[in-house]
Structure 1
Amino acid sequence: MNYVAILSNEIEGMGKTFVQALPSLVIALAILILTWALARGMARTSRRITARAQVRDDLKQLVETLVRLLVWIFGTLIALTVAVPSFTPAGAFASLGVGALAVGFAFQDIFENFLAGVLIMLRDKMNIGDAITCQGIAGKVEKITLRETHIRQFSGELTVVPNSMLFKNPVEILTDQHLRRNEVIVGVSYDTDLAHAQQVIEQALATVEAIDSDKGTVVFAQEFNSSSVDFLVQWWSDTSVQDLRLTKSQVVFAVKSALDGAGIEIPFPYVTNTFKEPLPLLSAKALQEERTA
C-alpha cells in the first residue's frame, strides 16, 4: 500500500475543499466585521435613547450590553450558516443534548453571576455611585457589569466582586438617604448629677450646626459601666452637606468642652499595673493632685 500517495491525495482533497470554501469563509468574516460595526452602532443608539429617557446608569449599561449581545448572537449565527452550509441554528440546539447539561454545570458560576447582574441592574436600589458595605467590603460602586461589580473602597483600593455575592448577601447602602444617624457614648463619673449632665450634653449638641434640628437628638443614660455612668448620644445629620465623620468630631469637641466648662469629669478607665493588680479609678483632678503631692 502506497501510504505516501494516500496522504498526498488526502492533502490535495483538503486543499480543494478549503479553496472551495474560501469564498464562504471570506463572506463569513465580512459578516463578523459588519456585526462588530453594527453592535457598536446599536449600542451607541441605545445609549442616546436611554440618555433622553433619563434612565439610571446601571440600566443604561444593561440595555447597551443586551443590545450588543443580541447583535453578536444573530451575526455569529449568520456567519456560521454561511461558512458551514450544513449548519442550522435549530440543528445546533438539537445536537447539544447532554453536552448542554455538561456545559451548564461547567459554567454554572458564570451563568449565576450573569443572572445576578441582570437582577441587580433591574432593581431600584444599589446604583452606580452608591456607597455600600457587604461581607466586610466597604466602598463606592463604580461599575456594574453582567458578571461583576467594581467597588472602590474608601481606602482607595478597587475590589472586583462577583454579582452573585452581592445578590445573595445583605448589602448595606450607606447613601440610600442623605440623613443618617450617628452616635457616641459619653461617660461621666458616678458622683455627677445625671440630670445636669444630660442637660449640658443636650446644650452642647445644639451648638453643632451640622446636626439636623428637625430630627432632634437623643441623650439617654444607658448603663452603669465599670468606671462611669454612660450616656448614649445620638443625632441626625445630612451627609450630602458634610461628612459624617466630621460631624461626629464636632460633636465630640462640643460635648467635651461643655462638660469641662460645667466641671463634670469624664473618668479614666481602670488600669492594671505590672503585677496584674487592679488600680483604683482616678479622675483627672485626682491624678493632678497626686502628682503635685
Structure 2
Amino acid sequence: MPSIAPDGKPESPGKVEVQPVAKDNEIRKRIADILITTSWFGEPRVAVQEGIVFLKGTTENDEFKQWAGDLAKNTEGVVAVVNQIEVAPATIWDFDPTFQELNDLARGFVRLLPMIVVALIVITISWILARLTVYLLRRGLLARSLSHLLREVMARTGGMLVMLAGLYLVLRIAGLTQLALTVVGGTGLIGLVLGIAFREITENFLASLFLSLQQPFREGDLVEVAGVTGYVQRLTSRTTVLMTLDGNQVQVPNSTVFKSTIRNFTSNPNRRDDFIVGIGYDDSIPFAQEVALKVLAEHPAVLSEPEPLVLVESLGPSTVNLRVYFWLDGGQHSWLKVKSSVIRLVKRAFQDSGISLPDEAREVTFPHGVPVRMIEDEGAVESATAKPTAEPETVATKAEASLQSEAEEIKEQARRSWTPGENLLTLSSSTDDS
C-alpha cells in the first residue's frame, strides 16, 4: 500500500523490481495493479512500449499525478515515462471525506469513553467537596465577628479553590498538562481582566470587605467622610449610607470612604469647640479672661476636664480678640446649641462687667451732620427712650431649646427612612452591644 506523509502529500515510491527480467506487459500489469490499489486514480490506464510507460486517467491533485510518474520511473526496466494523467478536482458533493471524518470521530469517542467516565466522577466528587467546604467554612466563621458578606466571600472562595483543584486533576488525567496549567494561570488572568473592566465596581466591593474587616465605625456613629457629616445608617456592598444632620440621606461610594480621612465623633464623645470675642483696647485682658472662665465654669454642659481656656488670639484694628475654648459631651449635648448658649452668656457677662465689645463695623460716619427731629408725642418719647429688655440669665433660651443632643431624633428618622442594600454593620454592632 502507498504511504502518505503527515502533510497529506503522498511519499515518493521506492525502487520497484520486476523479476526475473522486465517485459513490457509485466511492467504494465505491475504499475496498473498498484494504481488501482491506491484508489487515487479514476480509470487508470497503463501502456508500455519498448520500456516507455504511458500513463492515462484522472486524479484529484498534482501530488497524486507526480506520485504515479515517480512510481513508473522507479519501476525496473522503464526507460522513460509519459505522464498523461489529468488532474480533475473531486466534485463538491463528494461526502466520502466527511463520512470518513465522522467515522474517525466516533472511534475516537469510543476510545475516550473510560476517560470521560472517570472525569465525570472526579468532577462530581469535586463539586460535593466544594459544597461541603462552603458549608463548613460558613459554620466555622459564625463564631467570628465578621459581616455576612465577608463570611460568604471567604466560604465561596474556599469552595472555588476545591472545584478548581478537581478541574486541574481531570485535565491531568486526560493528558492535558499544559492546558491544566493554562487554566490555573488563566483564572488569575480572567480575574485581572474583570477587575480592569469593572474597576469601580471591584473597588467598591473590595473596599466594603476591608471596611467590614476593619470596622472604622459602627451603625449609628456620627462621622465625617468625604466632606459629608452624618450618622451611619448602614454599610452595603457598594456604598456607605449616612443620614446628615439636616435629615438628608447621602450614599458615599465605599472606595471613597476607604481612601478618605474618616472623623468619628462618636468613638470619643468629648468634643472641643471654640469661638472668638473681641474686647476694647482700654479693657483689662486678664479681667475679661476671668469673666469668660467663670461663665464656662458655671455652665452645666461645659466639662471641667479638660479645662476650658481663654487665650489671646490677635490684635485687631479696634479690638483685642480672645478665643474661648471649651469641651462638652457630644453624646449628651448638641455642640451647636451649647456653643450658642456659651456665646450668649459670655456676651452678657462682659456687658454686666463693663467690658466693651467694639467693632469697626459699627462705626458710622455722617458727612453732612446729624439730622435732629423733635418728638412731641409723650408715648413716642417713652418709646424712644425705653431700654431694651435685659438678656435672660438662663443657660438655654426658648430659641435654643434644650441643650440635649438631637442624635436620637435623627437616628429615629434614619430608622423610618428607606435604605437600600444589606447592612454589613449589623453583626458587628450587635456583637459589640451585647
Distance 1:167 1:97, change over 3 A: closer
Separation in 1 of the partners of 2:209 and 2:192?
22
Quote how far apart the aligned CAs of 1:98 are: 5.3
1:74-124 superposed Cα distances (whole Å, 9 cap, x missing partner): 59x98xx9xxxx9xx999656557544432210222222222222222225
1:1-22 superposed Cα distances (whole Å, 9 cap, x missing partner): 9xxxxxxxxxxxxxxxxxxxxx
The corresponding residue for 1:225 is 316
1:73-84 aligned within 5 A? 74=159
Specify which of 135, 149, 164 is matched with residue 65 of structure 1: 149
1:45-194 aligned within 5 A? 55=145, 60-61=146-147, 64-69=148-153, 74=159, 96=187, 99-194=190-285
SS in structure 1 at match of 2:295: helix
2:354 counterpart of 1:263? yes
Residue 287 of structure 2 aligns with an amino acid whose one-letter code is H
Is the CA contact (8 Å cut-off) linking 2:138 and 2:155 kept in structure 1?
A: no
Residue 66 of structure 1 aligns with an amino acid whose one-letter code is L
Quote how far apart the aligned CAs of 1:70 are: 5.6
Distance 1:271 1:186, change over 3 A: closer
SS in structure 2 at match of 1:177: coil
Quote how far apart the aligned CAs of 1:183 are: 0.6
The count of aligned residue pairs is 229
Separation in 1 of the partners of 2:188 and 2:265?
47
Quote how far apart the aligned CAs of 1:72 are: 6.3
SS in structure 1 at match of 2:360: coil
Q: Which has the higher helix share?
A: 1
SS in structure 2 at match of 1:143: strand
1:151-201 superposed Cα distances (whole Å, 9 cap, x missing partner): 111111111111111111211112221111111111111221212111111
The corresponding residue for 1:23 is none
SS in structure 2 at match of 1:270: helix
Identity %: 28
Separation in 2 of the partners of 1:106 and 1:272?
65
The corresponding residue for 1:21 is none
Is the CA contact (8 Å cut-off) linking 1:126 and 1:173 kept in structure 2?
A: yes
Distance 1:227 1:111, change over 3 A: same
The corresponding residue for 2:330 is 239
Distance 1:189 1:174, change over 3 A: same
Quote how far apart the aligned CAs of 1:209 are: 1.0
Separation in 2 of the partners of 1:266 and 1:120?
50
SS in structure 2 at match of 1:156: coil
Distance 1:255 1:146, change over 3 A: same
TM-score by length of 2: 0.45
1:273-292 aligned within 5 A? none
Distance 1:97 1:259, change over 3 A: closer
Separation in 2 of the partners of 1:197 and 1:66?
57
Is the CA contact (8 Å cut-off) linking 2:273 and 2:326 kept in structure 1?
A: yes
Q: Which runs of 5 or more residues in structure 1 are unaligned?
A: 2-30, 278-290
